[in-house]
Structure formats: C-alpha cells, structure tokens
Structure 1
Amino acid sequence: MDDYSKIGRITKAHGITGELKIKFLYSLLNPENIPNHIFISDGKETLPYFIENIRRTKHPEYILKLEGCDTKSKADELSSFELFIELGKESEYFHTNDKKDLTGFMVYSSEGESIGQIEEVMDMPAHPTFSIQYNGKYIMLPQVEDLIINIDYEKRKIIYKLPSGILDI
C-alpha cells in the first residue's frame, strides 16, 4: 500500500447496472478532470479499475461507473472497499492541502454547541465553503479567517463564530 494514497471509499451499490455510490476524502479540483483509473482495496488485495463515468449526486456523494462492473451483485461485492490513487497523483485531481481541506473535522460554535461534521470543502468564487449536515439539512459556512476562532488539527476540531441566524436558514 506504500505506492497508493487513499482518496475515499465505496459506500454501497447504486441501481442495477453496477454503479457505485462513493464518498471522497477530498474535494475534486474539477469534476470534468478525473483519473482514467483508480485502485480498489478490500484490505488484502489492491486492484486497478478503469473509470467509465463519474457524476455528482446528492451532496457530497458521487456515483461511479467502473469498466467491468455491470451488475448490482458485482457492485455489492465492492461495497465498503477503499479507493486509492497512485501516490503523488492526488494533487492533480483533489484538494489535498490539509490546512485547506478540512473534510471530516467537527465544527463547534463559540458557545460550545456541536454544529456537525464537515462533509465537503467546496471551492466557491469568493472563498472555500464548508458543507455541514445540521438537523437534517445542509448548511454552508464560509471558510474565512474572521469566523474561524480555532482549528485543532490533532483533535480535528474547529471553533467557529456563527453569523447571527445562519442556523435558522
């Protein structure tokens, strides 16, 4: 596994034609620019697969179609496996800068209330934006210095100064 970098995992089969629902660890730089192949590991063996198609669905998941995976049963076999790319190629396709991509970090208000986990860091024209599921809906919090009180990289925790009324939207 020293030759590969983990980029995500397969969450489950999607539909009956062998498509896979996946979740990346990092935001894609450009959904139009994807690798032509990835590696899938079951923990024992890592095998290459060619990508036929990838599309974004319900935020922040993607649907992946692999060459040779044409049935639901084949897709079910790959469910929960991890996705990899060649070591050193990550930055060609993904935002991998740890200070910028805070996917998976927990966000807390300055009062200590748990807001939720960052599911994706999206590049927006003005600034990156955190996408967080809060009370059954997605909220977008701007990743701007004035609102981030503290980032604890060890504990993967962010203290955030919430703009008034943002959770009520």
Structure 2
Amino acid sequence: MITKEEVLKIGKITKPHGLQGELAFHFETDIFDELELPYFICEKDGILVPFFIEDYRFKNDETGLVKFEGIDDEKEAKNLVNADLYIARKFIPEEMDPVELEGSSFYVGYHILTKEKEEIGEITAIDDSTENILFELSTPDGEELLIPAQDEFIVEIDDEKRTITMDLPEGILLLNTENDDLPTDTDEE
C-alpha cells in the first residue's frame, strides 16, 4: 500500500475532458514534466492508487490533460474528478532541490529542528512568492512562524524521519513572535 510519506502532491483532477476518458487537472508544480513517470497516483476513497499514464499534455501554465490506461470513457473519468494527484517521491532525483521548484509542497509536513534537535515547528506551507523562499511553520504552541529556506541554514535533511535540522542565526525566531519582554517605543516615555 502506498503511504502519504511516499508521495508528493502535485495537484488535483478537476473534470473530464472529452468523451475518451481524458481528464483535466490543475497542478501546483510541474516537476512531473522533468521526470519520466510511468504513473500518477490518485487518492480515491482515502486510498492512494497508481494510474498508468497513456499520455499527458499541458493546456496552460496551471492546467494539464492526462489520459490514463484503462480509463476509456467519460463515465469512468468522472469517478476521478476532485481526486488529489500525486507522484511517487522515489522518482525525484536527490539533486533536484524541491524547495526551489515553483509551488512545490515537497517539504510540507516535515518538522524543523534546531541543531540541538529541539523542534521549532512543522512546515505547513512554502512561500515562494518572493526571491527568498520561506518555510511557513506551525509551532508546538500553535504559533505561526516564517523562516528562510536557505541552504546555508540547513544542516541535515532526513527524509525517513521527515525532519530538517537547521542552524538559524540568533534571534531569527524572535522576528515572528510577539514578546512582551522586548522594549517598545512606548516603554521609553
């Protein structure tokens, strides 16, 4: 059985396209186009199921069309509408840096640790809307943090444990938090 830890979400199937079983899908990353994949994985009734690719093509920058083997008419295709679409992580070469891939959610769910192995938080999203890519974290206390996803701060990535150990500059975590102990302009009056 395929588990969520073994896959990377790339998008969602949106609707049937035509009468021959082709499906339209919205994608968050086009990493799949750089790989020779035998199949995509769809989540169907909570189970991750591989569907072998007969053909796919791009419709625009956010939408693709895929034809799966064994899905040969509109009725069969409708059964996959709204299914999340994944690829197996085993097909992604180590030299590909998923953090730098536009829209990548590769590290979502990983836990960020200090170099002393203390948990900072879990990655909930990756903000790549600016030049500096940021990990969006949820801390064990329920706070939201942003930290830079820069190679110079990353000490180790453990895909099995789904952790990233980082050596962050002193004070960087305080930039995101409210701290009543820090002086403010009104304290000086």
TM-score by length of 2: 0.49
Q: Distance in 2 between matches of 1:34 and 1:57?
A: 19
Aligned length: 113
Partner secondary structure for residue 19 of structure 2: coil
Q: CA RMSD in A?
A: 3.2
Change (3 A) 1:52 1:14: same
Moved beyond 4 Å, runs of 4+: none
Give the drift of 1:101.
2.3
Change (3 A) 1:8 1:17: same
Give the drift of 1:46.
1.8
Q: Could you list the runs of 5+ residues in structure 1 that have no partner in the other structure? A: 106-120, 122-129, 131-142, 158-169
- Residue 77 of structure 1 aligns with an amino acid whose one-letter code is N
Q: Distance in 1 between matches of 2:32 and 2:7?
A: 19
Partner secondary structure for residue 90 of structure 2: coil
Could you tell me whether the CA contact under 8 Å between 2:10 and 2:30 is conserved in 1? no
Task: Map residues 46-125 of structure 1 onto 2, 5 A cutoff.
Answer: 46-91=48-93, 97-98=98-99, 100-103=100-103
Give the drift of 1:151.
4.7
- Residue 38 of structure 1 aligns with an amino acid whose one-letter code is F
TM-score by length of 1: 0.54
Change (3 A) 1:152 1:86: closer
Could you tell me whether the CA contact under 8 Å between 1:5 and 1:90 is conserved in 2? no
* 1:88-122, Cα deviation, whole Å (9 max, x unpaired): 32348xx6621x224289xxxxxxxxxxxxxxx9x
What is residue 40 of structure 2 aligned with on the other side?
A: 38
Could you tell me whether the CA contact under 8 Å between 2:25 and 2:65 is conserved in 1? yes
Aligned-pair identity (%): 26
Task: Map residues 4-43 of structure 1 onto 2, 5 A cutoff.
Answer: 4-28=7-31, 30=33, 33-43=35-45
Could you tell me whether the CA contact under 8 Å between 2:31 and 2:101 is conserved in 1? no
Q: Could you list the runs of 5+ residues in structure 2 that have no partner in the other structure? A: 106-127, 138-145, 147-189
Give the drift of 1:81.
0.4
* 1:31-70, Cα deviation, whole Å (9 max, x unpaired): 6x53111221124222221100011113321100000111
Larger proportion of helix: 2
What is residue 115 of structure 1 aligned with on the other side?
A: none
- Residue 74 of structure 1 aligns with an amino acid whose one-letter code is E
Larger proportion of strand: 1
